[in-house]
Amino acid sequence: MTAKLLKKTFDAYYSFPVSVWNEIAKAGEIAHFKREAVLKEVHQTEKHLNFILHGSMGILLWKKNNFLCTDMLLDNEFACDYLSFITQQATPFEVIAFENSTIFRISYDNLWQITNRNNWGDKLWRYASQALYVDKHIQYLQSLTLNAAQRYELMIAHQPYILQRVPQKYIASYLGITPQSLSRLRRKRSPH
């Protein structure tokens, strides 16, 4: 089942045969994390690539004695500190479970070994990197060209359940506004 979910998600970028995902699934494990569990700490190195089977997670940046939410991820999305994972260097990012979560995780070492011994390995890394690059640049462009209200509307259109599953302080941080401003946006949007 895990291999099929991985394949279905990655097919948006490139359709590898299910045998690729079976091999990856066999080299990883299913793990459960409680709400607010830290999967990767600040100034540590990311050791796992996570795929959320059920739950929600966030990528937080430690800045000026506070966390800024840089990403919110839900079911059937990959989640980790990608910069740290790819470079195997420590970063100021933290990875946290926003709610009780079940994930598939594979270690960097296991993924590296599998991809190095298979002829599809370079292609997998290339397509994964391209997908991440595109997603992050779209997010970056939106942060520069849209105001918080417009980004909030996009969030609701593309991830409608995020408001029920992610703590409001992280949604506000992601939008670059205060929790009070987020409450005002929500009130303006809801019918009276």
Quick: pLDDT tens for 43-61: 999 999 999 999 999 999 9
Note the pLDDT of residue 16: 96
Predicted confidence (pLDDT) at residue 7 exceeds the cutoff of 60: yes
Q: Which pLDDT band, with edges at 50, 70 and 90, does 146 fall under?
A: very high
Residues 6+ apart with CB under 8 A from 112: none
CA atoms within 13 A on the CB side of 97: 21
Are 52 and 77 within 8 A, CB to CB?
yes
Note the pLDDT of residue 181: 94
Whole-number mean pLDDT of the chain?
94
* Percent of the residues in the chain that have a pLDDT greater than 70, as a whole number: 98
The amino acid at 46 = E
Output Rg (C-alpha) for the chain, integer angstroms: 17
The residue whose two tokens read 């926003």 is: 98
Note the pLDDT of residue 191: 62
- Rounded to 10 degrees, the C-alpha dihedral 127/133/139/143 comes to -170
